[in-house]
């Protein structure tokens, strides 16, 4: 395809997005936005980004913050390892890079939670470095424009896309090109209802010519999601509720949740095993929550605790008023359960 980069840059300057809140030339802002945008759409990210930047306007404030404060602002955005990695990266930069975001591509890629494409996006958008990106939008654009078959998650297909991404890079205006290829996928070459009539490459697009726009990129091979189930103990004492911090690894790592037990077990006995004498009040409506690799069925059991221990709670447990608990760093279904009780 002739003059692809030149045509894309020209289109971006006229029709691309120029008012996104992180388009301020600050590597910290670019980095935060790129992490939030991993597997999450722009319109979902914008309000989270605004709240996050209001609380942590620079790298130093993020590095100095407790993890709970970071995860509380991430709550609801999903893929919580991103929030933990963001915090870990800020602390590493503060300790090892004099508090300045590194400019070197290899140093960026070595930071927690940053892969090849994210590192390239930061290097290109923040520092103008000539690096190719290959996020979901770019994969979709290339698969359609060049008629590339196969699921992009397969190594052979991914390698071909990376070679194409490298070959199409312009010698200059790399930031405009990088923003343009992302804008093209996000605003015109969308997954569903693509706006082919407004695309500057519609006459060159193999998928358009062959009537295969809906087929490409080839979707991930479908597999039935395994199902798991758990019962959550919603322990109440007066107006307070018990939360338990989850391990840092695994699902919802580092977030506050409810104690759990097998769904068929006696919740009163499970509460007693935790050291609480409690009566079962009722069984709250069950919830389904989908992760990328399994579906979780949650059965909340509401219990009234007769007496809280006189001594301090076990590490990792805390009693909070319901209103305060709803503001903690919570997984989405836990937040829904708490909000239903307020």
- Residue 223: what pLDDT? 85
Question: Do residues 219 and 139 touch, judged by C-beta distance below 8 A?
Answer: no
Half-sphere exposure of 212 (CA within 13 A, CB side): 19
**Is 303 strand, coil or helix?**
strand
313 in catalytic set: no
**Is 105 strand, coil or helix?**
helix
pLDDT tens digits for 237-247? Answer: 999 999 999 99
Least confident of 60-69, 255-264, 314-323: 314-323
- Residue 121: what pLDDT? 97
CA distance 231 to 155: 39
Catalytic residue among 34, 109, 129, 244: 34
Task: Report, as an integer, the average pLDDT of 264-284.
Answer: 95
CA distance 245 to 22: 32
- Asked if pLDDT for residue 126 goes beyond 90, the answer is yes
- Residue 26: what pLDDT? 93
- Asked if pLDDT for residue 310 goes beyond 80, the answer is no
C-alpha dihedral over 170, 175, 177, 178, to 10 degrees?
Answer: 110
- Residue 305: what pLDDT? 96
Compute how many other C-beta atoms are within 10 angstroms of the C-beta atom of residue 216: 23
Task: Report, as an integer, the average pLDDT of 122-144.
Answer: 97
Measured CA distances, 206 to 52, 142, 168, 212 (Å): 41, 10, 17, 8
Percent of the chain residues topping a pLDDT of 90: 89
Say which residues have a Cβ less than 8 Å from residue 73's Cβ, sequence separation at least 6.
48, 51, 52, 55, 56, 83
- Residue 293: what pLDDT? 87
185-205 b/e (C-beta count within 10 Å ≥ 16 → b): bbbbbeeeebeeeebbbbeeb
- Asked if pLDDT for residue 180 goes beyond 90, the answer is yes
Task: Report, as an integer, the average pLDDT of 285-293.
Answer: 92
Domain 4-209 of CATH type 1.10.340.30: yes
- Residue 256: what pLDDT? 96
- Residue 311: what pLDDT? 62
pLDDT tens digits for 61-78? Answer: 999 999 999 999 998 898
- Residue 239: what pLDDT? 92
Instruction: For domain 227-341, give the fold.
Output: Nucleoside Triphosphate Pyrophosphohydrolase (3.90.79)
Domain range annotation of the chain: 4-209, 227-341
**Mean pLDDT over each residue of the chain, to the nearest integer:** 94
């Amino acid at each position: 395809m002739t003059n692809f980069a030149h045509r894309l840059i020209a289109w971006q300057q006229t029709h691309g997005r120029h008012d996104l809140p992180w388009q301020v030339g600050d590597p910290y802002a670019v980095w935060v936005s790129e992490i939030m945008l991993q597997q999450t759409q722009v319109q979902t990210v914008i309000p989270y980004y605004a709240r996050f930047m209001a609380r942590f306007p620079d790298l130093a404030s993020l590095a100095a913050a407790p993890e709970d404060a970071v995860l509380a602002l991430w709550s609801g955005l999903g893929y919580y390892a991103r929030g933990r990695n963001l915090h870990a990266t800020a602390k590493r930069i503060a300790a090892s890079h004099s508090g300045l975001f590194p400019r070197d591509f290899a140093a960026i890629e070595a930071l927690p939670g940053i892969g090849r494409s994210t590192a390239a996006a930061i290097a290109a958008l923040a520092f103008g470095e000539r690096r190719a990106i290959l996020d979901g939008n770019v994969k979709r654009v290339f698969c359609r424009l060049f008629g590339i078959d196969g699921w992009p998650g397969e190594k052979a297909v991914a390698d071909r896309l990376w070679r194409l991404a490298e070959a199409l890079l312009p010698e200059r205006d790399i930031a405009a090109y990088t923003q343009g290829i992302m804008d093209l996928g996000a605003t015109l070459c969308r997954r569903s209802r693509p706006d082919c009539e407004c695309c500057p490459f519609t006459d060159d697009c193999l998928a358009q010519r062959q009537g295969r726009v809906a087929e490409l990129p080839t979707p991930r091979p479908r597999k039935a999601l395994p199902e798991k189930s758990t019962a959550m103990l919603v322990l109440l004492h007066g107006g307070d509720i018990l939360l338990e911090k989850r391990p840092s690894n695994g699902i919802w790592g580092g977030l506050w949740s409810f104690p759990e037990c097998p769904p068929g077990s006696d919740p009163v006995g499970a509460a007693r095993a935790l050291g609480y004498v409690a009566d079962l009040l009722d069984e709250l409506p069950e919830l389904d929550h989908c992760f990328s690799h399994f579906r979780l069925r949650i059965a909340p059991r509401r219990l009234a605790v007769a007496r809280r221990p006189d001594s301090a709670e076990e590490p990792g447990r805390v009693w909070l008023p319901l209103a305060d608990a709803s503001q903690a760093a919570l997984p989405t279904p836990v937040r829904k359960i708490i909000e239903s009780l307020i």
